[in-house]
Chain A
Amino acid sequence: MSARDRRPALFFRLLQAGLLMLLPVLAFWLAGVWYFGARQQQANTLVRCADRITIAMLEARRAEKDFLLRDAAAAEFRRSGISDNLTAHQRWCDKLLAAVAELGAQLPATEQGRAAQLETSVRAYAARFAELAGTYRTAGTTSTAAGTAWLQVRQGLAAAVRARRQPALTQAAEALQQAADAWRQQADSAAVALVLTRLAVLERTAADSIGTSPLAAPVAAWRTTFTALQETSGQLRDANSGVQGAMRAAIHDVETQLARMDEVREAADATGAAANRQLLLAMGGVLVAGLLLGVVISMLTARSLVRPLAALQQAVTALGSGQLGARAAVPVVREYALLAEGMNAMAEALAGLVRRIQRAGVQVTSSATQITAAARQLQTSVGEQTATTAQVGASVAEISATTQQLAGTIAHAAAAADASAGIAGHSVSDIAALTGSMRQLLTSTANLGGRFSLLSAKAQGIGSVVTTIAKVADQTNLLSLNAAIEAEKAGEAGLGFAVVAREIRRLADQSAIATADIEELIREMQGAVVGGVTGMDAFTHEVRVQADAVAAFGSKLEELIRQVQAVAPLLATVTASVQSQAAAAQQINVAMTQLGDTAQNSSLAATSLTEVATHLLDASRELQGEVARFRAE
């Protein structure tokens, strides 16, 4: 049968044992409580009565002292005889008596006499006190009367002294007053002596100063009154002291009785304590017996409880050490059977769980490893991304810088183009002037060429003339030669002729030399002319060429100006595009910064991911390690 169907014997057995153990203890406890409670109550009552007595006594004594200090000498009391302290004293004495009566009721029979004695003493004390109060009253009354009479006497004396108007007298009278006041305060023998002395002084002074007759009567009256007063007060004092003595005796008696009461109480307490001790011993003994019984029962019960548990404990230990296949045998007792069945189910579930955890642990470890690797890859790729971003950012910065430079350069170029256009404009006008002057030069050169050709023609003319002269010289030479030859043939007759011929030959030679020189000169001149003409031709050609070149240059310059003028809008376009490029570069820079931030965040995320993955890996390894302890079947 299943565990649920078995008897819940364990429960009943425990209940049984508990009750068996508890009941005697409970009984003894109750009895003890009742007994001790009663005893305690009694003792408390006694203590309360004693306290009440003590308090009442103290209050009565206090009222008595208050009365003696204040009311006894008070004129009010002396007159009326009523005093609050008196009434308070009476009340407290009544309370005291009531407390004594209560105490007497509490005490055992043997001690009743004591209570009666105490009562008697208290009453005696009260009576003595009343008596004392009465004496004070009568003293007060008499002293009032006496005091009034004395006052009159004193006043009479004072008036008499005043009437005399003598300083010494007045002084003595004041001294006497002072002594009298001092006696009123403290009526002892010294004060009395002082008063009498001062009175004698006053008498003497009066006798010395004014004679005896005027002050004799007041002084005598003063003396007699004072003496009577002194006697009266002495009598009263005696009576008072007598009564006070009686009262003190009564008080002493009361206190003695009270002390005896305390003794009695202590004795009662002692006997009571002895009885209590005996009872305690008895109770203790019974309690011990009960405990022993309880121990025996509990041991038996425990054994019957523990034995089935051992098997369960073994199974549980085995389970805890890792043998998930361990199962407990199901005992007979219902509670343990339930526990065993539950434990078996738990072991089963645990085994299944551990198997699943092992499988999951393996998966988690592999996943964690993969995540770690992926995280590392992510980190490296993010690092690369950051590097790339930094590179791009650097490139963009370069682009920005270059663009700035370009803008500056373009501005320079625009300025230069404008300057060039201006200069070219100047140059065009200069070139026009130059072309004009070159054309002038050409015409001049043409003129010069014409003059050169004229010169050449002239030189040729000279040359022809010179040629004629040379021919003549040649003929002359020939003629002289022939003449010389003929003269030689003629012999001596031809000597003169030979001389003439020689002279002619000389002339001809000179002519020939001159013509040769002239020819040379003419040749040179013609050479120079030719050279000049050639040079002039060359110069003209050159000038023409240069003029053409200048014209071409001028046209080119105009074209250049046009080009340069066309450049300015282009430059403006370029500037605009450069500026837009700069703006674009700036945007790229911003985007790069953002990208860099994103990369930074990604890097941080990757780092944290790596950390988390590492933790996960460690945790999964730990889990696997833990799970490996269990040997699931």
Chain B
Amino acid sequence: MLYLRFTLAGARFGVPAAAVTAVVPWVALAPLPHAPAGVCGVLNYHGQSVPVLDLQQLVQRTPCAPAYGTRIILVSGVTSGLLGLLAETVLDTFRPDSDFIPSGLPQPDAPYLDGVMFTADGMVQQINLAGLLPATLQTTLAATGA
């Protein structure tokens, strides 16, 4: 399975490529006032308004650094439409031999962090798209967005 690799807070993370629609550069986002924490704006993708989530904000409470590698990953299946995930060093894919295994440390505050994988380059953590958004945020996004 092909995974897309990116960096958050200095650690490597990966999402399955099957869930990724496209990777777009970090363009200027339309700001969303009174947005919950982590939502940094709305992206216009081919006429669709896609909310963008800053993953680094979620994980580390710091925004992503502006760099060439900082791109928005458009994923589907989390909300009704697409969801943009802003992450750093979105530059490469990898096809690991094994699968994510549970980390052994359940984190009730961050349900999206629940898998690790050991590769030749080091440890890669999983972003569980399902647990990414809390229910409230999901509904809010559903209400506003798609």
Q: Is the CB of A470 within 8 A of B90?
A: no
CB-contact partner of A482 in B2, B18, B23, B91, under 8 A: B23
User: Interface code B16-36, partner A: CB below 8 Å = 1, 0 otherwise?
Assistant: 011011111100000000000
Q: Does A477 contact B (CB under 8 A)?
A: yes
CB-contact partner of B23 in A478, A489, A509, A512, under 8 A: A478
Q: Indicate whether A488 sits within 8 Å of B68 (C-beta atoms), given known contacts A478-B23, A478-B25, A481-B23.
A: no
Chain A residues near B90: list those with CB within 8 A.
481
Q: How far is the CB of B79 from chain A (nearest CB, A)?
A: 19
Q: Is the CB of B20 within 8 A of A485?
A: yes
Q: Indicate whether A512 sits within 8 Å of B22 (C-beta atoms), given known contacts A481-B91, A485-B4.
A: no
Q: Does A484 contact B (CB under 8 A)?
A: yes
Q: Is the CB of A485 within 8 A of B23?
A: yes
Q: Is the CB of A488 within 8 A of B18?
A: yes
User: Interface code A63-93, partner B: CB below 8 Å = 1, 0 otherwise?
Assistant: 0000000000000000000000000000000
Q: How far is the CB of B56 from chain A (nearest CB, A)?
A: 19
Q: How far is the CB of B110 from chain A (nearest CB, A)?
A: 25
Q: Is the CB of B68 within 8 A of A474?
A: yes
- Which residues of A from 367 to 393 have beta carbons under 8 Å from B? none
Measured between alpha carbons, how far is A470 from B2 in the docked complex, in Å? 26
Chain A residues near B24: list those with CB within 8 A.
478
What range describes how many residues of A lie at the interface?
Answer: 10 to 19
Q: Does B97 contact A (CB under 8 A)?
A: no
CB-contact partner of A505 in B2, B18, B71, B92, under 8 A: B92
Q: How far is the CB of A504 from chain B (nearest CB, A)?
A: 12
Q: How far is the CB of B70 from chain A (nearest CB, A)?
A: 11
Q: Is the CB of B91 within 8 A of A485?
A: no
Measured between alpha carbons, how far is A474 from B25 in the docked complex, in Å? 9
Q: Does B138 contact A (CB under 8 A)?
A: no
Q: Is the CB of A489 within 8 A of B93?
A: no
Q: How far is the CB of B64 from chain A (nearest CB, A)?
A: 16
Q: Is the CB of A485 within 8 A of B17?
A: yes
- Which residues of B from 28 to 64 have beta carbons under 8 Å from A? none
User: Interface code B107-141, partner A: CB below 8 Å = 1, 0 otherwise?
Assistant: 00000000000000000000000000000000000
Measured between alpha carbons, how far is A482 from B20 in the docked complex, in Å? 9
Q: Is the CB of A481 within 8 A of B93?
A: yes
Q: Is the CB of A470 within 8 A of B93?
A: no
Q: From A509, which residue of chain B is reached at the shortest CB distance?
A: B91
Chain A residues near B71: list those with CB within 8 A.
478
Chain A residues near B23: list those with CB within 8 A.
478, 481-482, 485
Which among B4, B17, B21 has the highest number of chain A CB atoms within 10 Å?
Answer: B17
Q: From A477, which residue of chain B is reached at the shortest CB distance?
A: B91
Chain B residues near A484: list those with CB within 8 A.
2, 17, 93
Chain B residues near A475: list those with CB within 8 A.
25
Q: Is the CB of A488 within 8 A of B25?
A: no
Q: From A512, which residue of chain B is reached at the shortest CB distance?
A: B68
- Which residues of B from 79 to 103 have beta carbons under 8 Å from A? 90-93
Q: Is the CB of B22 within 8 A of A488?
A: no
Measured between alpha carbons, how far is A485 from B22 in the docked complex, in Å? 7
Measured between alpha carbons, how far is A279 from B68 in the docked complex, in Å? 202
Measured between alpha carbons, how far is A409 from B90 in the docked complex, in Å? 88
Chain B residues near A489: list those with CB within 8 A.
17-18
Chain B residues near A477: list those with CB within 8 A.
91
Q: From A470, which residue of chain B is reached at the shortest CB distance?
A: B68
Chain A residues near B25: list those with CB within 8 A.
474-475, 478
Chain B residues near A474: list those with CB within 8 A.
25, 68
Q: How far is the CB of B143 from chain A (nearest CB, A)?
A: 29
Q: How far is the CB of A205 from chain B (nearest CB, A)?
A: 211
Q: From A501, which residue of chain B is reached at the shortest CB distance?
A: B93
- Which residues of B from 1 to 25 have beta carbons under 8 Å from A? 2, 4, 17-18, 20-25
Measured between alpha carbons, how far is A509 from B24 in the docked complex, in Å? 17
Chain A residues near B91: list those with CB within 8 A.
477, 481, 509
Q: Indicate whether A488 sits within 8 Å of B92 (C-beta atoms), given known contacts A478-B71, A481-B23, A482-B23.
A: no
Q: Is the CB of A485 within 8 A of B93?
A: yes
Chain B residues near A481: list those with CB within 8 A.
4, 23, 90-93
Q: From A471, which residue of chain B is reached at the shortest CB distance?
A: B68
Q: How far is the CB of A251 from chain B (nearest CB, A)?
A: 205
Measured between alpha carbons, how far is A500 from B128 in the docked complex, in Å? 29
- Which residues of A from 478 to 528 have beta carbons under 8 Å from B? 478, 481-482, 484-485, 488-489, 505, 509, 512
Q: From B16, which residue of chain A is reached at the shortest CB distance?
A: A488
Measured between alpha carbons, how far is A477 from B71 in the docked complex, in Å? 11
Chain A residues near B18: list those with CB within 8 A.
488-489
Q: How far is the CB of A98 from chain B (nearest CB, A)?
A: 204
Beyond A474-B68, A485-B2, A485-B21, 12 additional contacts (C-beta under 8 Å) are A470-B68, A478-B24, A481-B4, A481-B90, A481-B91, A481-B92, A481-B93, A484-B17, A485-B22, A488-B18, A488-B93, A509-B91
What would 7 A/B residue contacts be, using CB atoms closer than 8 Å? A478-B23, A481-B4, A481-B23, A482-B23, A484-B93, A488-B18, A489-B18
Closest 6 CB pairs of A and B: A488-B2, A474-B68, A488-B17, A485-B17, A481-B23, A485-B20
